[in-house]
Amino acid sequence: MTDRKSMRAGRVVDAEFQLIDRQVIDSEGMPVVAVDDLEVSDVPWNTDLPPGTEAPIVENLLSGPVLGTRIFGGRPPESRWQRIAWKHVVDIGTALTLDAPAKEFDAGWTERWVRDHVVGKIPGGRHDPE
Protein backbone atom coordinates (compact mmCIF):
# COMPACT_ATOMS: atom_id res chain seq x y z
CA MET A 1 0.00 0.00 0.00
CA THR A 2 1.31 3.47 -0.91
CA ASP A 3 1.96 5.88 1.94
CA ARG A 4 -0.39 8.87 1.46
CA LYS A 5 2.29 11.32 2.62
CA SER A 6 4.59 10.22 -0.18
CA MET A 7 1.91 10.65 -2.85
CA ARG A 8 2.16 13.85 -4.85
CA ALA A 9 -0.69 16.24 -4.09
CA GLY A 10 -2.86 17.41 -6.93
CA ARG A 11 -3.45 16.18 -10.44
CA VAL A 12 -1.38 16.90 -13.52
CA VAL A 13 -3.53 18.10 -16.43
CA ASP A 14 -2.82 19.45 -19.88
CA ALA A 15 -4.39 22.89 -19.63
CA GLU A 16 -4.69 23.42 -23.38
CA PHE A 17 -6.52 20.14 -24.01
CA GLN A 18 -8.40 19.58 -20.72
CA LEU A 19 -9.30 23.06 -19.46
CA ILE A 20 -9.24 25.87 -22.04
CA ASP A 21 -12.51 26.34 -23.97
CA ARG A 22 -14.30 23.72 -21.85
CA GLN A 23 -17.83 24.31 -20.61
CA VAL A 24 -18.21 24.73 -16.85
CA ILE A 25 -21.24 22.94 -15.36
CA ASP A 26 -22.65 23.63 -11.88
CA SER A 27 -23.64 20.99 -9.32
CA GLU A 28 -27.18 20.90 -10.74
CA GLY A 29 -25.99 20.17 -14.29
CA MET A 30 -26.61 23.69 -15.60
CA PRO A 31 -23.99 25.45 -17.78
CA VAL A 32 -22.22 28.36 -16.11
CA VAL A 33 -19.53 29.69 -18.50
CA ALA A 34 -16.75 28.48 -20.77
CA VAL A 35 -13.11 28.61 -19.65
CA ASP A 36 -11.26 31.30 -21.61
CA ASP A 37 -8.03 31.42 -19.62
CA LEU A 38 -6.41 30.34 -16.36
CA GLU A 39 -4.73 32.03 -13.42
CA VAL A 40 -1.81 29.97 -12.24
CA SER A 41 0.53 30.20 -9.26
CA ASP A 42 3.58 32.43 -9.49
CA VAL A 43 5.85 29.71 -10.78
CA PRO A 44 8.17 31.03 -13.48
CA TRP A 45 7.45 29.01 -16.55
CA ASN A 46 7.48 29.06 -20.30
CA THR A 47 6.76 26.42 -22.90
CA ASP A 48 9.64 24.27 -21.63
CA LEU A 49 9.98 23.97 -17.86
CA PRO A 50 13.58 23.51 -16.76
CA PRO A 51 14.21 20.14 -15.07
CA GLY A 52 13.42 20.30 -11.36
CA THR A 53 10.94 23.18 -11.71
CA GLU A 54 7.57 22.54 -10.13
CA ALA A 55 4.57 22.69 -12.44
CA PRO A 56 2.31 25.74 -12.10
CA ILE A 57 -0.80 25.29 -9.96
CA VAL A 58 -4.16 26.45 -11.29
CA GLU A 59 -5.66 29.04 -8.93
CA ASN A 60 -8.73 30.27 -10.91
CA LEU A 61 -10.68 29.55 -14.06
CA LEU A 62 -11.18 32.77 -16.04
CA SER A 63 -14.04 33.71 -18.31
CA GLY A 64 -14.58 37.00 -20.04
CA PRO A 65 -14.80 39.09 -23.19
CA VAL A 66 -12.08 37.42 -25.25
CA LEU A 67 -13.54 37.39 -28.77
CA GLY A 68 -12.02 40.75 -29.72
CA THR A 69 -8.65 39.84 -28.26
CA ARG A 70 -8.61 36.53 -30.12
CA ILE A 71 -9.19 38.40 -33.38
CA PHE A 72 -7.07 41.51 -32.81
CA GLY A 73 -4.64 40.35 -30.12
CA GLY A 74 -4.04 41.67 -26.64
CA ARG A 75 -5.73 40.74 -23.39
CA PRO A 76 -8.89 42.01 -21.64
CA PRO A 77 -8.34 44.21 -18.57
CA GLU A 78 -8.09 42.31 -15.27
CA SER A 79 -11.34 43.90 -14.08
CA ARG A 80 -13.29 42.27 -16.93
CA TRP A 81 -12.34 38.67 -16.01
CA GLN A 82 -14.87 36.56 -14.15
CA ARG A 83 -13.14 34.12 -11.79
CA ILE A 84 -14.10 30.72 -10.41
CA ALA A 85 -11.70 29.35 -7.79
CA TRP A 86 -10.12 26.03 -8.76
CA LYS A 87 -11.13 24.56 -5.37
CA HIS A 88 -14.73 24.41 -6.66
CA VAL A 89 -13.87 22.06 -9.56
CA VAL A 90 -14.84 18.50 -8.64
CA ASP A 91 -14.53 16.73 -12.01
CA ILE A 92 -12.63 17.20 -15.25
CA GLY A 93 -14.27 15.50 -18.20
CA THR A 94 -15.78 16.75 -21.41
CA ALA A 95 -16.92 19.62 -19.16
CA LEU A 96 -15.65 20.90 -15.81
CA THR A 97 -18.09 20.22 -12.98
CA LEU A 98 -18.38 22.51 -9.96
CA ASP A 99 -19.41 21.70 -6.39
CA ALA A 100 -22.14 24.37 -6.07
CA PRO A 101 -25.06 25.83 -8.04
CA ALA A 102 -24.39 28.55 -10.65
CA LYS A 103 -26.09 31.26 -8.60
CA GLU A 104 -23.23 31.06 -6.07
CA PHE A 105 -20.71 32.13 -8.70
CA ASP A 106 -20.58 35.60 -10.17
CA ALA A 107 -19.16 34.23 -13.42
CA GLY A 108 -22.45 33.65 -15.22
CA TRP A 109 -24.18 36.90 -14.28
CA THR A 110 -24.04 38.36 -17.80
CA GLU A 111 -25.67 35.28 -19.33
CA ARG A 112 -28.35 35.25 -16.63
CA TRP A 113 -29.01 38.98 -17.15
CA VAL A 114 -29.41 38.55 -20.92
CA ARG A 115 -31.68 35.54 -20.34
CA ASP A 116 -33.91 37.41 -17.89
CA HIS A 117 -33.95 40.88 -19.50
CA VAL A 118 -33.63 40.20 -23.22
CA VAL A 119 -34.49 36.63 -24.19
CA GLY A 120 -37.20 36.39 -21.52
CA LYS A 121 -39.03 39.37 -23.06
CA ILE A 122 -39.30 37.67 -26.46
CA PRO A 123 -42.61 35.80 -26.88
CA GLY A 124 -41.86 32.14 -26.18
CA GLY A 125 -38.43 32.99 -24.75
CA ARG A 126 -39.20 31.57 -21.30
CA HIS A 127 -39.75 27.94 -22.33
CA ASP A 128 -38.40 25.29 -24.67
CA PRO A 129 -40.03 25.04 -28.08
CA GLU A 130 -42.74 22.42 -28.34
Residue ranges per structural domain of the chain = 12-42+55-121
Q: So what's the pLDDT on residue 16?
A: 85
Q: So what's the pLDDT on residue 9?
A: 54
Spatial distance between the Cα atoms of 92 and 56, rounded to a whole number of angstroms: 17
pLDDT exceeds 50 at position 7: no
Spatial distance between the Cα atoms of 111 and 63, rounded to a whole number of angstroms: 12
Topology at the third CATH level for domain 12-42+55-121: SH3 type barrels. (2.30.30)
Q: pLDDT band for position 43 (50/70/90)?
A: low
